[in-house]
Structure 1
Amino acid sequence: MRILTALIFFSFSFSVFAYTPLNYLPKGSVSSLIVESLDSSEEFISLNSDRFYPPASTLKLVTALAAKLELGNDFHYSTSLYKSGSDVVISFSGDPTLKREHLKQLLRDYKKKYGNQIDGSIFLDNSAFTGYDRAVGWPWDILGVCYSAPASAITLDENCAQASIYTQDDGHTRVYIPAHYPITVNTETSTVSRSGQKATQCSLELTTTPDNEYQLSGCLIERKKPLPLKFAIQNPELYVQNVTSDLVAELKMDIKGQITVKSTSSSKMTLVSKHRSPSLPSLLNTMLKESDNLIADNLTKTLGATFFVQAGSFNNGTEAIKQILLSKAGIDLQSAKLTDGSGLSRNNRMTAESMTQVLHYIWENEKELNLLQSMPKSGLSGTLRYRKSMRKAPIEGNIIAKSGSLYGSYNMAGFGLDKAGQPNSVFVQFVRDYYPVKNNTDTPVIAPITQFEKAFYKDVIKFSQQ
């Protein structure tokens, strides 16, 4: 009784006194925090819980729950190859796991059944999705990198191409691109010393074109090993057209017509071969553990297509998520602003209170949902494995959560574990407007957000294990 009274007082005191760990954050930062027991009988912290914040990648928990409720564990993406008269139709569904080798196998199956000759054309059907490939609010300056790869019906190789840039003694740079990527990368980047970079404030810059051409410029500090690069494919349709052309040549097939993108719907099509993605649980495991944006956004569009029985888009997908959670879980997100399913858009807004409702529902229905095992564990797995605030006791291994970060936002949503390793509390951390003073010395310092998180997570664990 004495402990409960102290907890109630401690919770109430936040309306009067500041929560001490917040003092680690730089001036101007604002936070929304919730920590409460899973049975809701005890509330440890509730601070600004009804205010709207960018959820960043914690939004993937919302997307995962909606996908489980609407699509079910048996859901697979399918990429199908049909024969339609003298033509070949490859119907894409937005499979975020489709690889070049899968597409090659579809063509190989056609060759085995019908021979080397295609008398007509190859049509790449992209009618599963409609609208923009990128959501409103995605920053323009990150569209060239793979974590912001376009969410498209025609998706291949995660809509991502890998390359490397090398610094050279003559002050220039060179780029290496594996031959199987049909993209063009040019570099005018200069090799500079670390002191030269500081003096000029010059950095590596990337510009792109709709033709999958990439231009690197600016400066790169001299390095012994190449810098890995990952380019988001700007035009997935053109990319897959070129890959398909290369595969036709590799398989020594002869096509009289063209390879082009075209929506098709004919009752006279004959299914030749089909590739299925891993099932939904596998997709969600990757999405949550690795914070995979492409899986989250393609699933969002798929939810829109399934729920509204029409081509999927960011608009109908995010609306579908809201309606699914309201009708099937009793969670009202109508006042939330959802622009995508990954959390990449800076336009997304939701409250810590709403996120807490999602977490409670996941826990209460874990036997059917089985989502907790797909969430990262502090200091041990997924995106939390190397998080600086979680790599030591007592935090390591005692939190299951989904992280999320955008420019100026550092978020976490999940569960504190009891001494037996079972979830016992739910917590949400939304921090925005985080802009610390830059450290201009070579002396390592612990970032303010890391200091705050260490103190906060210790409190979460103490509350969970008391």
Structure 2
Amino acid sequence: MRLLSVSISILTLILSFHSQAAVEKPHFPSPDILPTGTRVGLMAKSPTSTLLYKNNDMLFPPASTLKLFTALAAKIELGDDFRYQTTLAQSGSDLILTFSGDPSLTSADIEQLLSDAKIKEIKGNLLIDNTAFTGYEKAVGWPWDILGVCYSTPSSAITLNNNCVMASIYTNKDGTTRSFVPEHQPITLSTSARAITRQQQKEQYCDLELNATQTNQYFLSGCLVKREQPLPLNFAVQNPFLYASTTIQQILKDNHIKLNGSIQLAQAKPHSAKQLATHQSATLPVLLEHMLKDSDNLYANNITKTLGGHFFKQAGSFTNGSQAIKTILKQQAKIDLSNAILEDGSGLSRNNRISPNHLYALLKYIKANDHKLHFVHLMPTAGVNGTLEYRASMRKAPIKGQIVAKSGSLFATHNMAGFVVDEQGQPATIFVQLVTDYHPQANTSTIAPITQFETALYQNLIKATVK
């Protein structure tokens, strides 16, 4: 009997050792993988480990990881039943079209509004009400050189078709270029850019440059490498009212609706008007899923202004929207962002600053409350969807499918924040990765240092989570 007891004890120790060996302790890869001068802030906590951290109270540019704060504040303040409403009303002989900042509103929605209201003729003017938002349409800290492209489109109550227009540029055999704008796009585009070889571009240090005006005119100059197919272009609308009014004029014409007056910007919110029709957006979770998975800046910024308007009961702005996010999260989730700097809700501003501690507190709250928040499934999954579908470090096993997170990228900044999921697909390990001042030497023959760093980090975290 004693021999049997000893044998069982030894077997138990062996099984225990193998069980523990199957799950590694989480650790961070050496920062030496990254170029000299790179700043790194890291945090990780698996279900069985102590909290690991490095530079956890240092402030970093959050880039699009800031959208996690915007989304959580919206979930708490607005609720899952929230929908944007765009309304059509009548005041005397005038019609009033009230925009609410719905980032998903399309021309087809406006057309349906007019149909629902059974509008055949507008005897007076069509007034556009944009009083839902106030202040800047472009946040403090947005770089001037990206304002013409669609990921930095203005955040306006008047949002239609993503406030984004399409065009293209062709290279000609004689070294010139020509532009094309679809007939339905109410913009003008001209080009003086030269068509050159790739070698000439390298020798002349010449790139394609864009200038845009407040009348939604776009000018291309500089150089474009010769190409067989046209280069697709997407431009941010510079004047949302002008774009919307011109688009609506075409909708009226296409639907044989006579406008006796003109389309004007309402000078003040009308006191009394008879509501004729309402368009509602999808519910908030649908909007947030698009915002997080596609990292849509317009959605994030308009939702931020909506939060400011809803929380402070006034027209929304970047200023009160950013403050609303801080206040809501502190009051309702005990997430203290008092020393964080928020200029927008998207992370596009180069002035934004948060710490790993801020992100960790947010993720910890989400993990503890996801049974009622239903937040985690709104985030991208590594190698599967959203902005993580093709991320170099996440396309293959064992990382593919095991990470649910929000990425964030700006110049010299590569961030990630989220969860390693367990065997049941539930969030288990929390992690934060903030990397900035990342300036690798150009070398196309090796895997990028940031990819090596992320691969090592997340492979270890997965091993420390999944048995």
TM range (shorter): over 0.9
Aligned to 2:188: 184
User: Which position in structure 2 is the counterpart of 1:36?
Assistant: 45
Shift of 1:3: 11
Partner in structure 1 of residue 446 of structure 2: 445
Cα separation, 2, equivalents of 1:375 and 1:268: 42
Consecutive aligned runs of 4 or more in structure 1 exceeding 4 Å deviation = 1-6
**Aligned AA (1:183):** I
Task: Name the residue aligned to 2:457.
Answer: 456
* Distance (whole Å) between structure 2 residues aligned to residue 142 and residue 115 of structure 1: 41
Instruction: Find the counterpart in structure 2 of residue 21 from structure 1.
Output: 30
How far does the alpha carbon of each residue in 1:297-332 deviate from its partner, in whole angstroms, 9 at most, with x for none?
Answer: 000000000000000000000000011011111111
- Following the alignment from structure 1 to structure 2, what is the Cα–Cα distance between the partners of residues 20 and 334? 31
Retained in 2: the 8 A contact 1:21–1:456?
A: no
1:80 aligned counterpart, secondary structure: strand
Structure 1 pair 20–109 and aligned structure 2 pair: CA distance change class (3 A): closer
Q: Aligned residue for 1:381?
A: 385
What is the distance in 1 between the residues matched to 2:305 and 2:219?
31
1:156-197 per-residue CA deviation (whole Å, 9 max, x = no partner) reads: 000100111111211111111111110111111111111111
- With the length of structure 1 as denominator, give the TM-score of the two structures: 0.93
Quote the Cα distance in structure 2 between the aligned partners of 1:359 and 1:212. Answer: 41
| Equivalent residue for 2:233, pick from 229, 232, 237 | 229
Counting aligned pairs with the same residue, the percent is 51
CA distance in 1: counterparts of 2:50 and 2:411, whole angstroms: 30
Q: Give the aligned residue type for 2:91.
A: S
Q: Helix, strand or coil for the counterpart of 1:320?
A: helix
Match of 2:84 among 61, 77, 81: 77
User: Which of the numbers 320, 326, 333 marks the counterpart of 2:324?
Assistant: 320
Any stretches of 5+ residues in structure 1 without a counterpart? none
| Counterpart contact for 1:108–1:251, Cα < 8 Å | no
Partner Cα separation in structure 2 for residue 20 and residue 373 of structure 1: 28
The answer on whether the counterparts of 2:29 and 2:457 sit within 8 Å (CA) in structure 1 is no
Matched AA of 2:112? Q
1:242 partnered with 2:246: yes
Shift of 1:2: 8.6
Q: In 2, Cα distance between the equivalents of 1:182 and 1:445? A: 45
| 1:82-126 C-alpha deviation (Å, 9 max, x unpaired) | 01100010000000000011112222334x2x532x221111000
Indicate if the aligned counterparts of 1:10 and 1:44 stay in contact, CA closer than 8 A. Answer: no
Out of 344, 351, 362, the position equivalent to 1:347 is: 351
Q: Which runs of 5+ in 2 are unaligned?
A: 1-15
Q: Which amino acid aligns with 1:148?
A: S
1:419 is matched with 423
1:335 to 333, 339, 354: 339
CA contact (8 A) 1:161 1:231 kept: yes
CA contact (8 A) 2:25 2:464 kept: no
TM-score, normalised via structure 2 length: 0.93
Question: Displacement, 1:265?
Answer: 3.2
> Which is greater in Rg?
2
State how 1:43-192 maps to structure 2 within 5 Å. 43=50, 45-110=52-117, 112=118, 114-116=119-121, 118-192=122-196
- 1:217 and 1:3 mapped to 2: Cα distance? 65
Alpha carbons of 1:413 and 1:121: their partners in 2 closer, same or farther (altered >3 Å)? same
Aligned CA RMSD, in angstroms, stands at 2.0
Q: 1:119 to 1:48 in 2, by over 3 A?
A: same
Please say if residues 44 and 463 of structure 1, whose CA atoms lie closer than 8 Å, have aligned partners that are also in contact.
no
Aligned-partner Cα distance in 1 for 2:129–2:390: 41
The residue identity in structure 2 corresponding to 1:104 is: E
Report SS of the residue matched to 1:129: coil
Count of equivalent residues? 450
- Give the 5 Å matches for 1:225-374: 225-374=229-378
